[in-house]
């Protein structure tokens, strides 16, 4: 085995499959950036691509690419860790491979239809074949059914493998969470004339995904990441995971009510939603404490610096983007004015980035390290690690810049359009034409382009980091031995039946 | 066995928190399911609560007036002012509104507009589009809305931004459906959202119930 060369023979079959998921995820990440930039250009130059790729098409591709690549990233991460965690090979390698190709083909067809067919007549047929017209889950019904079948196949593999091998606390949580995650998707697969009914169930998918099941899923991935990067103690990590589940589901399930203030649903949701969603930052604080505690306990020494940096970015990003930015608009007294403004966009960007982009990127760094034959990925990298540090910096500066610009725009919109103008057509444009708003939209574009450059560097780094490296990752363990040895270390085998 | 295992007090033990996680999740899910059953009944179209109106509400004048008990504006259902001058049965009204909703989904309007405040922020919220002062008054509204939705480029306003709505190339039936959908939507009780919204003046002719030809 040659160190520093891409070496698939070191990987298990499931890990090779995970690499495929990661590759598609990163291609879609780049596509998401490009379509985000197109939408952002149209905000400041509305004639741009008018009538060819209208704003709604670009935005739809932007957010759908995001949802799909994140699901790919999660699936890849699960396949990456499953054989280590269960101790046995994947039960259905062939099915898993077929599922990947079927799913990827379906995604490709959906994207082509979104871009070239775009919309259809106002009939059921359009919802089945072209576009369902519901934000984030626009994929037509045929694709929904395909996605559910693929998710069942993936679930069969995950559950079957753990059943055959051994369970751990982390895998127990993971499997139950996947059941909920897949089940929730069904809530988005129907049509009704009744708009409040439509939005009621639509939020089950969106909110109970990002603020409950996805959070717990990344909690599992994070737990494993801490064990892998830092050699953290499995028992402590697992206990933390349970605490996080209790807090996250304890607040997030009823926190759903913060989307039921103004859609025709009964008034008790104002109280239920306001109260429980206000508690949602608590588990996110717990996660920061946990990550920093573990990193500090191991003196931040790790055999994979980029992965550790992105894991820490995850802890803070999740807390700030979801916890703080979410909390700012979650009380009904405030949400009455901020609802449906750029404020939500500010929060949506920072939350998705901070909570989900970061952790998937961290995980891919772990995978890349193994792919190169467990190379050294700590300090003293060639060019001082310019690419990983540069992309970390640019993506974060870009994202934070966009978030601040959107927050300023949101404040202004809430004030001028909502509070002063009473949200009429004219009031909407009164808000959009304020100088601060216009400037914010330019800044968002500038920072968006910066972020896109950061993402290109990141992808380049994935392809090049560790190439030609001659040191193994174990070299770092040798000079940091005392702090790490007392814990169980990478791939700890301490498990118990759940 | 690590030292943590031996010495962990009950409140820091894995078993305790596993039970907590299971219990809390089950309890919250149960509460959500109970509330959901209740909410689904309340938001039935034409249900007793009156929060979501029957589709035939499009036969009436819809208002948005301050309610001092609830301390915010609520939709009001006024005298007969049928949409496009035609009184519809509940069934026909539902079919028309349904066509409108299908059209709004099929044309992906929500990736530019918000509806009940959810969607995209590139264009005005449509929750009260039916009542928007931009349509002038009750008598002009149907014609202006039809013209706008039929050709939003020729009839654009954009308030100096040039942010134009592309022509969704709606058929005549689709336009009528969309307008019916927007009218019905404006009568949903949204707990006062959007706050401070003042509808256009509505003092056109009304229809007396005995004038309705079945
Ligand atoms: C590409 C973005 C885009 C799409 C898609 C779009 N709109 Fe619009 N819409 C706009 C913009 C921008 C305006 C403001 C236009 C103006 O002022 O001239 C607007 C204005 C409107 C208005 C008048 C505003 C008001 O407050 O009453 C209505 C009604 C409307 N659109 C309905 C629709 C419907 C129905 C659809 C789907 C069939 C749709 N729009 C699709 C961008 C869009
Ligand atoms: C990682 C977790 C989270 C993600 C990815 C996320 C993402 C989003 C997104 C994308 C939206 C906009 C939805 C739309 O398009 O209409 C949104 C809305 C909202 N989020 Fe979050 N969110 C997260 C966590 C939270 C938390 C913890 C809170 C509260 C403390 C919160 C409060 C809200 C509120 C109140 C809205 C409604 C905005 C409105 O009224 O328009 N979110 N969220
Ligand atoms: C290149 C950088 C990016 C640009 C220029 C960009 C631009 C945009 C634009 C213009 C919109 C439409 C907002 C509106 O309706 O007014 C949007 C929506 C959205 N984008 Fe991005 N984006 C970028 C990166 C990202 C990233 C990295 C994420 C998350 C990981 C993301 C997640 C979202 C979400 C969730 C929405 C829907 C927001 C909502 O409805 O509240 N975007 N983006
Ligand atoms: Fe939410």
Partner residue opposite B121 with nearest CB, options A269, A270, A340: A340
pLDDT band at B145, cuts 50/70/90?
very high
Rounded Cα distance between A334 and B49, Å, is: 26
CATH hierarchy code of domain B55-211: 1.10.760.10
Question: Which pLDDT belongs to residue B213?
Answer: 67
Question: Which pLDDT belongs to residue A380?
Answer: 79
Task: Give A40-50 pLDDT, tens digit per residue.
Answer: 999 999 999 99
β-pair partners for B118: B115
Q: Residue ranges of the domains in chain B? A: 3-42, 55-211
DSSP secondary structure letters along A133-180: -STT--S-HHHHHHHHHHHHHHHHHHHHHHHHS---HHHHHHHHHHHH
List the single best residue of B25, B91, B104, B201 to mutate versus A (max A Cβ within 10 A): B25
Q: Give the position, in ligand 3's atom list, of the atom nearest the Cα of A37.
A: 5
> Which of A45, A345, A351 for mutating ligand 3's site (highest number of atoms within 8 Å of CB)?
A345
Determine the average pLDDT of the residues in A71-84: 95
For residue A355, the distance in angstroms to the closest alpha carbon of chain B comes to 21
Which chain A residues are Cβ-neighbours of B122 within 8 angstroms?
A: 39, 42-43, 55-56, 59
- Does the distance separating the beta carbons of A118 and B108 come in below 8 Å? yes
Task: Give A342-379 pLDDT, tens digit per residue.
Answer: 999 999 999 999 999 999 999 999 999 999 988 888 87
Task: Give A103-130 pLDDT, tens digit per residue.
Answer: 999 999 999 999 999 999 999 999 999 9
Q: How far is CA A232 from CA A220, A236, A238, B168, B177, in A?
A: 14, 8, 10, 56, 60
Task: Give the helix/strand (H/E) hosting B75.
Answer: strand B72-80
Rounded Cα distance between A244 and A240, Å, is: 6
- Of all residues in chain A, the one with the smallest CA distance to B107 is A119
For residue B210, the distance in angstroms to the closest alpha carbon of chain A comes to 30
- For chain A, which domains are there? 1-166 (1.20.210.10)
Residues with CB under 6 Å of ligand 3 are A 33, 36-37, 39-40, 43, 59, 62-63, 66, 344-345, 348-349, 352-353, 357, 448, 451-452; B 120-122
Average pLDDT score over chain A: 91
Question: Which pLDDT belongs to residue B1?
Answer: 43
Q: HSE of A460 in the Cβ direction (CA atoms, 13 Å)?
A: 14
Question: Which pLDDT belongs to residue A300?
Answer: 67
Angle CA(B90)–CA(B92)–CA(B93) in degrees, nearest 5?
60
Task: Give A177-220 pLDDT, tens digit per residue.
Answer: 999 999 999 999 999 999 999 999 999 999 999 999 999 999 99
Task: Give A476-489 pLDDT, tens digit per residue.
Answer: 555 444 444 334 33
Question: Which pLDDT belongs to residue A374?
Answer: 85
Rounded Cα distance between A170 and A244, Å, is: 12
Question: Which pLDDT belongs to residue A408?
Answer: 98
- Omega before residue B16 within 30° of 0, cis: no
**Size of the A and B interface in Cβ pairs below 8 Å:** 275
List the single best residue of A51, A120, A253, A262 to mutate versus B (max B Cβ within 10 A): A262
Partner residue opposite B166 with nearest CB, options A51, A194, A253: A51
Task: Return the CA Rg of chain A.
Answer: 23
Q: How far is CA A467 from CA A22, A459, B28, B178, in A?
A: 19, 14, 49, 58
Q: Give the position, in ligand 1's atom list, of the atom nearest the Cα of B174.
A: 38
Say whether pLDDT at A495 is over 50. Answer: no
Q: Residues, chain B, total?
A: 214
């Amino acid at each position: 085995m040659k160190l520093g060369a891409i070496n698939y023979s070191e990987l298990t079959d499931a890990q090779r499959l995970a690499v495929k998921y990661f590759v598609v995820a990163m291609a879609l990440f780049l596509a998401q950036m490009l379509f985000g930039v197109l939408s952002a250009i149209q905000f400041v130059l509305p004639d741009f691509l008018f009538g060819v790729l209208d704003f709604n098409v670009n935005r739809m591709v932007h957010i759908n690419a995001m949802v799909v690549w994140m699901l790919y990233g999660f699936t890849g991460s699960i396949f990456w860790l499953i054989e280590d965690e269960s101790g046995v090979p994947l039960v259905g390698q062939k099915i898993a491979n077929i599922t990947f190709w079927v799913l990827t083909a379906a995604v490709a067809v959906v994207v082509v239809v979104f871009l070239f067919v775009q919309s259809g007549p106002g009939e059921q047929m359009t919802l089945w074949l072209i576009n369902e017209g519901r934000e984030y889950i626009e994929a037509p019904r045929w694709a929904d059914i395909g996605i559910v079948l693929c998710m069942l196949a993936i679930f069969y593999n995950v559950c079957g493998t753990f059943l055959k091998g051994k369970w751990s606390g982390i895998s127990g949580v993971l499997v139950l969470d996947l059941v909920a995650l897949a089940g929730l998707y069904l809530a988005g697969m129907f049509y009704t004339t009744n708009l409040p009914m439509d939005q009621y169930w639509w939020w089950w998918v969106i909110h109970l995904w990002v603020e409950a099941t996805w959070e717990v899923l990344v909690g599992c991935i994070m737990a494993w990441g801490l064990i892998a990067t830092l050699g953290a103690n499995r028992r402590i990590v697992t206990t933390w995971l349970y605490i996080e589940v209790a807090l996250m589901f304890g607040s997030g399930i009823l926190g759903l009510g913060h989307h039921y203030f103004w859609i025709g649903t009964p008034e008790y949701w104002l109280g239920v939603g306001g109260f429980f969603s206000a508690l949602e930052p608590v588990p996110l604080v717990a996660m920061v404490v946990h990550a920093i505690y573990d990193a500090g306990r191991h003196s931040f020494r790790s055999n994979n610096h980029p992965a550790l940096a992105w894991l820490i970015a995850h802890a803070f990003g999740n807390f700030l983007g979801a916890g703080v930015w979410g909390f700012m608009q979650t009380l009904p007294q405030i949400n009455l004015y901020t609802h449906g403004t750029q404020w939500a966009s500010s929060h949506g960007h920072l939350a998705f980035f901070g909570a989900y982009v970061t952790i998937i990127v961290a995980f891919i760094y772990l995978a890349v390290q193994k792919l190169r034959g467990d190379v050294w990925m700590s300090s003293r990298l060639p060019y001082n690690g310019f690419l990983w540090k540069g992309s970390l910096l640019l993506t974060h500066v870009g994202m934070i810049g966009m978030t601040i610009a959107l927050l300023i725009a949101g404040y202004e919109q809430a004030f001028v359009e909502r509070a002063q103008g009473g949200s009429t057509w004219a009031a909407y444009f009164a808000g959009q034409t304020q100088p601060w708003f216009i400037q914010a939209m330019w800044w968002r574009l500038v920072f968006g382009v910066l972020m896109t450059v950061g993402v290109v560097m990141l992808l380049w780094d994935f392809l090049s980091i560790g190439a030609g490296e001659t040191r193994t990752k174990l070299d770092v363990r040798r000079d940091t031995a005392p702090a790490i040895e007392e814990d169980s270390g990478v791939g700890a085998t301490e498990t118990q039946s759940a | 066995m690590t030292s943590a295992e031996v010495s962990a007090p009950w409140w820091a033990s894995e078993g305790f928190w596993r039970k907590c996680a299971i219990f809390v999740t089950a309890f919250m899910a149960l509460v959500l399911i109970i509330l959901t059953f209740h909410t689904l009944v309340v938001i039935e179209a034409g249900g007793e609560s009156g929060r979501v109106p029957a589709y035939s509400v499009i036969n009436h004048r819809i208002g948005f007036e301050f309610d001092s008990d609830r301390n915010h504006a609520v939709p009001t259902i006024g005298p007969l002012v049928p949409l496009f001058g035609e009184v519809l049965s509940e069934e026909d009204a539902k079919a028309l509104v349904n066509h409108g909703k299908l059209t709004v989904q099929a044309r992906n309007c929500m990736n530019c507009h918000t509806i009940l405040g959810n969607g995209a922020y590139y264009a005005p919220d449509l929750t009260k589009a039916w009542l928007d002062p931009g349509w002038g008054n009750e008598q002009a509204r149907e014609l202006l809305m039809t013209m706008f939705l039929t050709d939003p480029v020729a009839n654009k306003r954009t308030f100096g931004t040039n942010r134009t709505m592309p022509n969704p190339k709606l058929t005549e039936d689709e336009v009528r459906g969309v307008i019916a959908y927007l009218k019905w939507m404006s009568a949903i009780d949204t707990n006062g959202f959007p706050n401070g919204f003042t509808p256009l003046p509505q003092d056109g002719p009304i229809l007396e119930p005995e004038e309705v030809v079945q």
